[in-house]
Amino acid sequence: MKLSFFKAAAVAGLASIVAFSPVTQAGGHGGKIDNIHFLIPGGAGGGWDGTARGTGDALTRSGLIKNASYENMSGGGGGKAIGYLIENAKSNSGTLMVNSTPIVIRSLTKVFPQSFRDLTPIAGTIGDYAALVVKADSNIKSFKDLVKIYEKDPNELAIAGGSVAGGMDHLVAALAMKSAGADPLSVKYLPFDAGGEAMASLLSGEADALSTGLSEAVGLAEQGEVRILVTTAPKAIDGIPSLKSEGYDAEFVNWRGFFAAPGISADQKAKYVKVLGDMYKTKEWEEVRAQNKWVNIYQPGDDFIKFLEKQEAEIGGLMKELGFL
Amino acid sequence: MIDGLLMGLGAAISPFNLMMVFIGCFLGTFIGMLPGLGPMSIIAIMIPIAIQLGDPASALILLSGVYYGAIFGGSTSSILINAPGVAGTVASSFDGYPLARAGQAGKALTIAALCSFAGGTVGALLLMIFAPVLSTVAKLFWSAEYFALMVLGLTAIAAFAGKGKIIKAMCMTVFGVMLATVGESALHNAARFTMGIMDLQSGIYFVTLVMGLFALPEAIFLILDKSRSKAMANNNKIENLRISKEEAKEIAPVIARQSLLGFFVGVLPGAGATMASFLGYGIERNLAPAGEREKFGKGSIRGLAAPETANNAACTGSFVPMLTLGIPGSGTTAILLGALVALSITPGPRLMEDQPEVFWAVIISMYLGNLVLLILNLPLIPYIAKLLTVPRHYLIPFVIFFSLIGAYIGQNNATELLIMIGLGCMATILRFGGFPLPPLIIGFILGGMLEDNLGRAMRKAGGMEFMWERPMTLAILALALVLLVYPIWRDRTKKQSD
C-alpha cells in the first residue's frame, strides 16, 4: 500500500512538473521583463525544446529576467500551439513561442491555417545553414560534379534528407539544382524520419548525396567520413564553399526564433526585442550557444518580418514549381 | 585496449560515479514505470543536470543509468498492468501480463530483470570487442533490407493466430497497419485520414493507442470478471521470485540467442529495440517445440524472456552507430549524442583513439548500470509485485489513472485523452468479439516503418525490382517465408506420422 501511495505521489509530482507549468503573466515592471513563459510546439528533447530552454536558461542566469517557465504543446506539426496562442492571446501576453523555418513551410502547405502574420514576430535568434554532403570516398568532388551527374540522368542521383518529401531538406536540394540551371522537379529524394537515419543511408551507399544541416554535417566531416560539397551560407565558411561563393544565386538559412501572441502592445514587443538583443552580450548565452554549436543571427522585430516575408516568397515559389502547392 | 579499459574502469568506479549510477538507475526505474515517459523524455529531462556535473564520464554514467532504468521500469508496467509505456516493451506484455495474472508476477518480474541484465551485459561485451568492426554492419542496410526486416517482424503475429483465429489475427494486423497511415505521409507530403482534426496531423500517438488498446479494456475486464481478479489477489505465489531449474534451462538458450540477435538488430540505425523485441518473440515462438508454442501469448516464460533480452541487447547495440559513426540510430541515442556534443565530445570513428577514456567509460558504465539495476531491483520485486494484491477497488482506478496520465503526459494534449477513450471502447468491443489485440499493435508499429521503407526502396530502384536486386533483401524475405511456412509444414508431417 505504502508503495502505491509513493508511486501515486511520484506520478502527481511529475505530472505537475511536466504538464501544469503555470502560465505566468507578463512582468513588465519598470521597463523590464521579469518572467517569460516559453511555449514549445513540440515534445521534450527536440530542436525547439532545446532552443527555448537554452534561451530561457541564458536569460535567467545572466539576470536579464527573473524567471523562465516552459510548456510543451505538441500536435499538428506545431499548429496546436499556434492555434492556442492566437485563441488565448489575451492571457498570453507573457508568452513567447519558439519556432523555426517549418512555420513558413507548413503554413504554405496548409498544415495549419495560420501563418507568422497572425502572431507577433519578435526576433530570429539562431540559425543553421543547409549543406549538400557526399561520402568521403565518393567520386563526386564538387557541387559542379554533382550537377553534372544530375543533368545527365537525375535517376542516377538519389538524395537523402531528414524531412518529408516537399520538406526543408528536399527544398534545399531542389533550390541548389535550380540555381545551377538544372530542372528542380526531377530530384530523386529519399525522405527519412531524422537526419541521423538519412546520414546512415548516405554511408550505406543507398543515397548518393545528402541534404542536411551544416552543423550536423560538420562533425562527421571532421571525422573524415563525409565531404561537404557546398553550403547555403552567403559566403564560404572555413574553406567550405557556398552556393553564393561559387557564383550560384541561392541562399538559405534554417532559422529559429520567437513569436509573441497577436495584439500585444508595442511597448511589450519592444521589451521582448530588447531583452533578446541584450542576451547576445552575456557570457551565459555564449556558453549555451557554444555548447549547442548554434550560429547567432539576430533579426529583431521588423527585420524579422521582412526576412520571413522574403523566405516565404522564395520557398512558396519553389514549392509551386515543384508541384507541392 | 587494456589501457583504455583500465582508464575507463578507474573513472567509473569512483565513489561519486557509483552514486551517480545508483541515482540514475533508481530515478530511471521509477519514472520509467509511468507509461508515456519513455527513456527519451527522461533523458531529455536529466541532461541539464548531467551537463552540470561537468565530467563527461560522470554525466554519461548518470544518463546510461537512467536509460537502462527506464527500460526496465517500462517492462514493469507492461507485465503488471498491461500498460507498456514504450514500443520496445510491448512484446514483453504479450506473455508477461498473462503470467502476472496467473499469480506469477514475482517470477515474471524476476525473469524480466535477469533477461534485461543478461541482454545488456552481453551487449556491452559485444560492443567492447566488436564496436569498430560493427560500424560496417550499420552501413550495409538499405531501405530495401529494412523493408524485408519489417516483413520478417510481422511474422511474429503468427503467435496470435491460434486455432480458428487466423482470419481474426490477420484482420487485426491489417487494421493496425491502417491506423499507422493516419497523419502526414513522409513520402507524399500529404495528410491522410485526419478528418480535419489537427491532433491527428502527426498520426495516432503510440502511447495513446497502447493505453487505449491494452490498459483501458483490461481495467474494464477486471471489473466485469470478479473471479479472475480474486484469484490473482489470493495467490500467495505472487511474491515468489524463484525460478525452477527446468525453467532456467528452458530460458537459457533463449537468452543466449536473443542477446546476440537483439544486439545486431540494435546496431542497425532506425531498427532498434522495438524491431528486436518483435523479431525475437516471433523467432522464439517458431523455434519452440509444438506444445510450448501453444503457450505463447498465454504466459510462456520463453515468450517473456525473448523480448526482454532482445530489447536490452538492442539498446546497447544502438550505441554502436552513435559512438563509432556519430549517427544516432534512435530517438534516445540522438538525445544522448546531443549531450555528448554539449560535453565537447565528438563521437565518430576517431573517438576511440582521441578520447579512449570516454569511450571506455561509456562501456564500463553500461556494465555498472546493468549490474546496479539488478541489485537494486531484485529485492524490490516482491514489493512491486504486491501492487497486484491491492484490492480491486483501489487497483482499477489506479490503472485507469495511470493510463490516462500516460496518454496525456507525452504530448501535453488533452485531445489525446478523448482519442484514447475512443480507442479503448473500440478495443473492448473487439475483445468481446474474440479478436486478438497484439497483432493490431504490431501492425501499427511496423506499418509506418514498412510503408516508409517500401516507398524509399521503390523510389531508389524505380519499382518493385528492389526485392531481388540485392541478395540480402532476397535472403531476409526468403527467411520470413520459411518462418511462416516451416511450422505449418512441421505440424502437418507430424500429424501424418501420428
Contacts with B411 from chain A: Cβ below 8 Å: 43, 74-75
Do A118 and A133 lie in one domain? The reply is: no
In A121-150, the residues whose Cβ lies within 8 Å of chain B are none
Measured between CA atoms, the residue of chain B closest to residue A292 is: B342
Do A117 and A136 lie in one domain? The reply is: no
Q: Tell whether A249 is covered by a domain.
A: no
Q: What is the pLDDT confidence band of residue B176, given thresholds at 50, 70 and 90?
A: very high
In this prediction, residues A25-30 reach a mean pLDDT of 44
Chain A interface disruption, residue of B42, B67, B76, B139, most A CBs within 10 A? B139
Cα end-to-end distance, chain A, whole Å = 59
Contacts with A167 from chain B: Cβ below 8 Å: 189
Q: What is the pLDDT confidence band of residue B236, given thresholds at 50, 70 and 90?
A: low
Contact B269, B329 (CB under 8 A): yes
Residue partners of A226: CB distance under 8 A and separation at least 6: A133, A134, A135, A136, A199, A202, A203, A210, A217, A220
Contact B173, B439 (CB under 8 A): yes
Task: State the pLDDT at residue B162.
Answer: 64
Do A259 and A306 lie in one domain? The reply is: yes
Measured between CA atoms, the residue of chain A closest to residue B194 is: A76
**Res A24 pLDDT > 70:** no
Q: Tell whether A248 is covered by a domain.
A: no
Q: Tell whether A20 is covered by a domain.
A: no
Chain A interface disruption, residue of B141, B201, B323, B393, most A CBs within 10 A? B201
More confident position, B6 or A273: A273
More confident position, A207 or B22: A207
Chain B interface disruption, residue of A164, A186, A187, A215, most B CBs within 10 A? A164
Four-point Cα dihedral A17, A19, A25, A28, nearest 10: 60
Query: B184, A164: Cβ pair inside 8 Å?
Result: yes
Sign of CA dihedral A192, A196, A202, A208: positive
Rounded to an integer, what distance in angstroms lies between the CA atom of residue B80 and that of residue B87?
Answer: 16
Contact A179, A321 (CB under 8 A): no
Distance from CA of B307 to the nearest CA of A (A): 24
Which CATH number does the domain housing residue A202 bear?
3.40.190.10
In this prediction, residues A286-304 reach a mean pLDDT of 88
Go through B278-291 and write b for each residue having 16 or more CB atoms within 10 A of its CB, e for each that does not: bbbbbbbbbbbeee
**Res A1 pLDDT > 50:** no
Shortest CB distance from A75 goes to which of B43, B199, B327?
Answer: B199
Contacts with A42 from chain B: Cβ below 8 Å: none
Tally of CB atoms within 10 A around A7 = 17
Do A143 and A188 lie in one domain? The reply is: yes
**Res A83 pLDDT > 70:** yes
Query: B198, A76: Cβ pair inside 8 Å?
Result: yes
What tens digit of pLDDT does each residue of A235-261 get? 998 889 999 999 999 999 999 999 999
**Res A11 pLDDT > 70:** no
Which CATH number does the domain housing residue A85 bear?
3.40.190.150
Boundary-marking domain end, from A169, A200, A231: A231
Query: B186, A164: Cβ pair inside 8 Å?
Result: yes
Task: State the pLDDT at residue B260.
Answer: 93
Which segment of A203-212, B93-102, B485-494 scores lowest on mean pLDDT? B485-494
Rounded to an integer, what distance in angstroms lies between the CA atom of residue A68 and that of residue A37?
Answer: 6
Q: Tell whether A18 is covered by a domain.
A: no
Residue with cell 485531445: B415
Do A122 and A148 lie in one domain? The reply is: no
Closest CA relative to residue A295, chosen from A221, A247, A232, A226:
A232
Query: B189, A165: Cβ pair inside 8 Å?
Result: yes
Give helix then strand counts, H and E, for chain B: 25, 2
**Res B498 pLDDT > 70:** no
Query: B394, A4: Cβ pair inside 8 Å?
Result: yes
Query: Which three cell numbers mark B2?
Result: 587494456
Distance from CA of A44 to the nearest CA of B (A): 6
Closest CA relative to residue B12, chosen from B368, B250, B422:
B368
Residue partners of B319: CB distance under 8 A and separation at least 6: B127, B333, B362, B366
Q: CA B94 from chain center: how many Å?
A: 12
pLDDT, averaged across chain B: 83
More confident position, A17 or A300: A300
Query: A204, B412: Cβ pair inside 8 Å?
Result: no
> β-strand A295-300 against A120-135: which pairing, if any?
antiparallel
Task: State the pLDDT at residue B239.
Answer: 67
- Which residues lie across from B184 on neighbouring strands? B191
Rounded to an integer, what distance in angstroms lies between the CA atom of residue B154 and that of residue B484?
Answer: 10
Tally of CB atoms within 10 A around B5 = 15
Q: Give yes or no for A79 touching B (CB within 8 A).
A: yes
Contacts with A203 from chain B: Cβ below 8 Å: 138-139, 325, 327
In angstroms, the Cα distances linking A80 to A74, A121, A239, B412 are 7, 18, 42, 11
Task: State the pLDDT at residue B375.
Answer: 87
Q: Give yes or no for A47 touching B (CB within 8 A).
A: no
**Annotated domain spans of chain B:** 2-497
Do A220 and A194 lie in one domain? The reply is: yes
Q: Tell whether A7 is covered by a domain.
A: no
Query: Which three cell numbers mark B53?
Result: 556535473
Q: What percent of chain B has pLDDT over 70?
A: 94
Rounded to an integer, what distance in angstroms lies between the CA atom of residue B371 and that of residue B120?
Answer: 9
Distance from CA of A32 to the nearest CA of B (A): 27
Q: Give yes or no for A48 touching B (CB within 8 A).
A: no
Number of Cα atoms under 13 Å in the Cβ half of residue B238: 22
Do A121 and A140 lie in one domain? The reply is: no
Three-state DSSP at A176 gives helix
Rounded to an integer, what distance in angstroms lies between the CA atom of residue B184 and that of residue A108?
Answer: 15
Number of domains chain A contains: 2
Contact B82, B90 (CB under 8 A): no
Residue with cell 528486436: B276
Q: Give yes or no for A167 touching B (CB within 8 A).
A: yes
Q: Tell whether A206 is covered by a domain.
A: yes
Task: State the pLDDT at residue A22.
Answer: 41
pLDDT, averaged across chain A: 87
Q: Tell whether A236 is covered by a domain.
A: no
The type of residue at B249 is K
Residue with cell 535567467: A60
Q: Give yes or no for B141 touching A (CB within 8 A).
A: yes
Task: State the pLDDT at residue A270.
Answer: 94
Do A138 and A223 lie in one domain? The reply is: yes
Most confident of A303-312, B143-152, B414-423: A303-312
> β-strand A120-135 against A226-231: which pairing, if any?
antiparallel
Q: What is the pLDDT confidence band of residue B242, given thresholds at 50, 70 and 90?
A: confident
In angstroms, the Cα distances linking B88 to A316, B65, B272, B446 are 40, 17, 8, 12
Q: What is the pLDDT confidence band of residue B310, given thresholds at 50, 70 and 90?
A: very high
Measured between CA atoms, the residue of chain A closest to residue B352 is: A223
Task: State the pLDDT at residue B348.
Answer: 75
Do A191 and A286 lie in one domain? The reply is: no
**Res B219 pLDDT > 70:** yes
Contact A69, A37 (CB under 8 A): yes
Range list of H helices, chain A: 2-18, 47-61, 79-87, 102-108, 143-152, 168-179, 195-204, 214-222, 266-279, 283-292, 301-322
Boundary-marking domain end, from A231, A265, A295: A231
**Res A295 pLDDT > 50:** yes
Q: What is the pLDDT confidence band of residue B178, given thresholds at 50, 70 and 90?
A: very high
Residue with cell 492571457: A91
**Res A40 pLDDT > 60:** yes
Rounded to an integer, what distance in angstroms lies between the CA atom of residue B427 and that of residue A6?
Answer: 31
Rounded to an integer, what distance in angstroms lies between the CA atom of residue B423 and that of residue B437?
Answer: 12
Query: Which three cell numbers mark A277?
Result: 538583443
Do A224 and A77 lie in one domain? The reply is: no
Do A115 and A134 lie in one domain? The reply is: no
Task: State the pLDDT at residue A20.
Answer: 40
Q: What percent of chain B has pLDDT over 90?
A: 22
Residue with cell 490503472: B399
More confident position, A227 or B188: A227
- Domain hosting A161: range is 128-231
What tens digit of pLDDT does each residue of B311-367 get? 999 988 888 888 888 777 777 887 788 778 777 777 777 777 777 777 787 788 888
Contact B123, B315 (CB under 8 A): yes
Closest CA relative to residue B368, chosen from B7, B32, B24:
B24
Task: State the pLDDT at residue B234.
Answer: 52
Tally of CB atoms within 10 A around B312 = 35
Task: State the pLDDT at residue B224.
Answer: 82
Query: A219, B270: Cβ pair inside 8 Å?
Result: no
In this prediction, residues B183-202 reach a mean pLDDT of 83
Query: A158, B189: Cβ pair inside 8 Å?
Result: no
Do A34 and A115 lie in one domain? The reply is: yes
Closest CA relative to residue A5, chosen from B223, B394, B73:
B394
**Res A10 pLDDT > 50:** no
Q: What is the pLDDT confidence band of residue B230, given thresholds at 50, 70 and 90?
A: low
- Rg of chain A, C-alpha, whole Å: 21
Boundary-marking domain end, from A199, A231, A263: A231
Q: Give yes or no for B41 touching A (CB within 8 A).
A: yes
Contact B43, A45 (CB under 8 A): yes
Q: Give yes or no for A204 touching B (CB within 8 A).
A: yes
In this prediction, residues A77-103 reach a mean pLDDT of 92
Measured between CA atoms, the residue of chain A closest to residue B405 is: A15
Q: Tell whether A9 is covered by a domain.
A: no
Go through A312-321 and write b for each residue having 16 or more CB atoms within 10 A of its CB, e for each that does not: bebbbebbee
Shortest CB distance from B41 goes to which of A10, A45, A199?
Answer: A45
